[in-house]
Structure 1
Amino acid sequence: MPRLSIAGWFRDDRLRRLFGNAGILLGGKTVNAVAGLAGLAIAARALGLEAFGILILIHTFTQTIGEIAKFQSWQAVLRYGTPALTEGRVSDFQRLLRFTALLDGWSALAGTILSVLVAWALGPYFDWPPELMPAALVYVTSVLFMVQATPTGVLRLIDRFDILSVQSTLGAIIRMVGGGIAWAMGGGIVAFLVAWYIATAWAGIYLIAKGWSELRKRGLLDGYSWRGDGQPVTRGFDGVWSFVWSTNLSATLELAYTHIGTLAVGWMLGPREAALFRIARQLGEALAKPAKLLIPAIYPELARMTAAGEHKEMRALIERSALLAGAGAMLALVVCWLIGEIGLRLIVGEEFVAAYPVMMWLVAAAVVGIWSFPLEPVMVSAGEAHKALMVRAWTTAVYIPVLLAAIHWFGLIGAGWARMFSAVLVLVAFLVPVVRWFRRRLAENEGA
């Protein structure tokens, strides 16, 4: 570690920009977290534990299919778009946008079809009532509005984190307001599904519109044509197909640590336990959210530093940011320990207090994950997305059977124990190759 004071660290322009962009996102995410919790609290109190669990399972299922279907093309926008714009190759940048936008469009369509087919087949196994299936099958088509990777990458590339901040709040606010209206009118699950569908669609359309609007303002769409310039869309972007497949599969594997946990609990223990697990995860993530916002903010910085070959500076950035984020996460853990049970009682009601023990384990796992937040972005930005994928693959292969066994043997608390185990495993699994990569690059720099 460089021997500088904490105050000295913030003389580093990159670290200040990283935390500045994360701070912009924090403004939106704070509102998002409050509105998200309020929306869940409204639904929980209006529907009760059992019906709320069914709503959560339908929503989580839809999110899972959306994440599986979409490519993480925003990472390709950053990885290949950064040098293209830096070098003034606007036509190449437009070709990249055409490629990633087509990926988004086709994956959105495929995801929508897949979501309907899988929901129709598996809905009964999640205890979705037969009379609710038509509404559930309509709701899962909201996958169409969840595939927004290209505009997300564009806005991160041009440092318009303020727009991303606004967009992140829209869905939560509409879900909260719509849920409040549904509750006031005595609506059931179907009314909440309508409100949540509108929230997803509105937020998705807004992001797409703002992303293309910002490109137009900067003249980056001048001469743009969907039919292209006669060149293959991947020309000049060596390894882009391998890159997008690796990042997509890596993100899909990461679902094991988010939505799959809720679905596994619902499948094995029923909607009531799924509701408790989802509430525990939501409250735990809300407390740890400020530090996790550094993840999207660090990608543009790492892309620039990798392109410039600034490996020593990159190592200093990830060390300092990890220490600062980890300290903030530890504070969140203490807050959760002190007021978590009271918060559950006040926010969602007495019957949800049973979620407190598993919530503490989920928050602790999130803290471990925050300490390791820069590691995977380093590997992806360095063009070693395939290695990051391999790490995700084998750690997930270990985690899934541990999760299922823990739920089977220990019930709901077992899901929390399994998540903590996986967090430590992932930390070690990413740390080892990243340390080796830095040693190689720094040795090459010294020998040059």
Structure 2
Amino acid sequence: MTDLIGLTPRAARRHASTPASGPPRASLRERWQRSTLIRPRLVSLAHLMSGSLGAAVLMMATLAIATRALGTQAFGTFVIVLTISRTCERLVRFESWQPLIRFVAAEEESASPERLASLYAYSLLLDIASALGAALLAVIVALEAGPLLGLDGDARFLVAIYALAIAGNLRGMASAALRLAGRFRVLAYVQLAAVLLRLTLACLLYALGRGITEFVVAWTVSQLFDSLLFNALGLRTLKQTGIPSPWRADKRHLPSKFPGFLRFAISTNLSSGLRTLTHEMDTLLVSTLAGPAAAGLYYLSRRIAKVVQTAGDLLQTIIYPDLARLWNQSSRKGVRRLVTMLQLALGGIGLVALALCWLMGRPLLEFVFGDAFSGSFALLLAQLVAIMLMLHAAPARSALLAMNRPSFVLACSVLATFAFFITATLLVPRYGAIGANFAHIVFGLMLVLAFDIALHGRLAASRRPEPVGASTKEPLP
């Protein structure tokens, strides 16, 4: 009490109410600096977004050259060639990095380097088989269904050229190696090399007055270069972490060594394939119902909006390994916190993109791509609304996969895909290409509701004890 002598009554009361001991409350900046859960992931997301933004700017420049060099009709044909190949690739290709990350995360503390190399080799073999199958399927579809999809005459054989890029696109093993090692800067900026090559080739072809065949060749060469560079960096990362090359690993009895891996890969592949139906085959649907020129406008709106959607894909790149580890550590609170914070961040990105498009979208489209492509403005606005919904669903989808719920994710994707095609089939003949954008909104809304309800219900039902010292006690930034 003697310490209060000489103080005013108000000051004395304030002094008495202050705890006699204990550390002062950390400031917001200090809590952000100490964050080990949220801050590193947002920093990694910033790196990936910066690299993707640079690649997106270069991609827009490349598309602008292609639209001016080819015109609306030829550009629409060019789009159909690329879309047939990419649709077949994504329908057949295994998303092998997802099961690979989950199995490596479960075994990395106890398994030998040789066993991990065999696990990576398992993923690599799946990648090779699916890439070759996708290339063959693309050629068959072009030859048999080309006229129905808008490809007539010699244009069908352009798919055979781009199929070479599909056959060489092996990314699952390298992608998992880079993600698990935290090489997000590499993932962010490696794509710039291939995009720069594509832009250089497009500028050269435009100056020489070349046509659609040469543009398909340019896209093929740049895609093969990207795949080779990506795999070289992935193999170097494995070597630096002490894991032998998967090419020389023991490949005998892989299904029995890693039970459940193939089933997980098939489930994620089916789920990804269903997403492909709405993200690639939608262009073919528009071409069939509204013609190649409308498909070109629709494709342009989808490619521009994909710049924003990339944030959700990059987010899965960053948080999926951490969510798998958090769930294996029984950290329910950590999973919920990470998902919620990143949903808020992605929501902000989507709102900013929608506002910028509303204010400046039409004049920018006319300036960059030409007056003939200004019709993409309304399509782009509708697509950005759908993208906002998909961005919200992305973290919950990653969390459900980390919880070993690929079958549920697949079932939700099946239902949403049915809803998409029913909506698109009804609306495209009546409203044109924008009907497919409205169908994307229906698709995204269904996934948001299903994934959020399932995720929070699963977290609430789980009664796993939190480990002592888990990251869930970390203060939020």
TM-score by length of 1: 0.93
Note if 1:233 corresponds to 2:238.
no
| Structure 1 counterpart SS, 2:82 | helix
Contact 2:80 2:150 in 1 (8 A): no
Out of 326, 340, 360, the position equivalent to 1:319 is 340
CA distance in 2, matches of 1:159, 1:58: 35
Equivalence for 1:431: 452
Shift of 1:314: 1.0
| Structure 2 counterpart SS, 1:128 | coil
Superposition RMSD in Å: 2.2
Note if 1:45 corresponds to 2:65.
no
| Structure 2 counterpart SS, 1:377 | helix
Shift of 1:5: 10
Out of 282, 292, 297, the position equivalent to 2:318 is 297
Distance 1:197 1:318, change over 3 A: same
Note if 1:18 corresponds to 2:38.
no
Shift of 1:236: 4.9
CA shift digits 1:38-60 (9 cap, x unpaired): 11110001110110011011111
CA shift digits 1:2-32 (9 cap, x unpaired): xx99865674312112112212212321111
AA partner of residue 127 (structure 2): D
CA distance in 1, matches of 2:247, 2:378: 54
Shift of 1:337: 0.8
CA shift digits 1:156-198 (9 cap, x unpaired): 1111122222332233222211111111100000110111110
- Farther-moved stretch of structure 1 (88-97 vs 409-418): 88-97
Note if 1:154 corresponds to 2:174.
no
- Farther-moved stretch of structure 1 (213-222 vs 243-252): 213-222
Counterparts of 1:94-243 in structure 2, within 5 Å, are: 94-221=117-244, 225-228=248-251, 232-243=253-264
CA distance in 2, matches of 1:227, 1:89: 13
Q: Which runs of 5+ in 2 are unaligned?
A: 1-25, 469-477
Contact 2:161 2:217 in 1 (8 A): no
- Among the aligned pairs, what percent are the same residue? 25
AA partner of residue 257 (structure 1): T
Distance 1:353 1:391, change over 3 A: same
Contact 1:287 1:336 in 2 (8 A): no
Note if 1:404 corresponds to 2:417.
no
CA distance in 2, matches of 1:225, 1:137: 31
CA shift digits 1:221-274 (9 cap, x unpaired): 07973444x5x2134534222211100000000113311221111111111001
Distance 1:292 1:340, change over 3 A: farther
TM-score by length of 2: 0.88
Equivalence for 1:340: 361
Equivalence for 1:92: 115
AA partner of residue 171 (structure 2): Q
Q: Report how many aligned residue pairs link the two structures.
A: 442
Equivalence for 2:390: 369
AA partner of residue 111 (structure 1): A
Note if 1:391 corresponds to 2:412.
yes
| Structure 2 counterpart SS, 1:372 | helix
CA distance in 2, matches of 1:300, 1:391: 22
- Farther-moved stretch of structure 1 (313-322 vs 120-129): 120-129
Contact 1:38 1:176 in 2 (8 A): yes
Shift of 1:290: 4.1
Contact 1:55 1:193 in 2 (8 A): yes
Distance 1:224 1:262, change over 3 A: closer
Note if 1:445 corresponds to 2:468.
no
Equivalence for 1:29: 52
Shift of 1:95: 1.8
CA distance in 2, matches of 1:410, 1:206: 43
CA distance in 2, matches of 1:398, 1:238: 34
Distance 1:78 1:10, change over 3 A: farther
Q: Which runs of 5+ in 1 are unaligned?
A: none
Distance 1:397 1:291, change over 3 A: closer
- Farther-moved stretch of structure 1 (85-94 vs 120-129): 85-94
AA partner of residue 57 (structure 2): V
Shift of 1:278: 0.9
CA distance in 2, matches of 1:140, 1:270: 23
Contact 1:70 1:147 in 2 (8 A): no
AA partner of residue 243 (structure 2): L
CA distance in 2, matches of 1:291, 1:94: 29
Note if 1:68 corresponds to 2:91.
yes
